[in-house]
Amino acid sequence: HLTLKNRVMSTSHEPAYSEDGMPKQRYRLYHAEKAKGGMALTMTAGSAIVSRDSPAAFGNLHVYDDRIVPWLAELADACHEHDCKVMIQI
């Protein structure tokens, strides 16, 4: 189970802040600021691309690409600094 510090959360949506399908600085800061504000859980990748064959739209994250792992780790670390859990919708 997952225990949260409060009931405040942000559901998955795509802010179109990715760069080349990766959650780089702007995407990370977007979620980190919500965490800093007291959010208990932030969900990422509202409409992630899970296959290379899927058409890209809205600045989707490319979760099929292993290069995304360190970017997601940095995002999670930034949120965890504020006791905010991170969930990804795939």
Q: Side-chain half-sphere of 13: how many Cα atoms within 13 Å? A: 6
Note whether residue 77 is domain-resident.
Answer: yes
Note whether residue 46 is domain-resident.
Answer: yes
Note whether residue 36 is domain-resident.
Answer: yes
Note whether residue 40 is domain-resident.
Answer: yes
- Any idea what DSSP says for residue 89? -
Residue type for position 57: A
- Number of separate domains in the chain: 1
pLDDT at position 48: 86
pLDDT at position 72: 97
Note whether residue 47 is domain-resident.
Answer: yes
- In whole angstroms, what is the distance from residue 38 CA to residue 21 CA? 27
- In whole angstroms, what is the distance from residue 22 CA to residue 87 CA? 16
Note whether residue 3 is domain-resident.
Answer: no
- In whole angstroms, what is the distance from residue 22 CA to residue 35 CA? 20
Q: Which domain holds residue 65?
A: 9-88
Give residue-wise pLDDT tens across range 14-72: 899 999 999 999 999 999 999 999 999 999 988 788 998 988 777 899 999 999 999 99
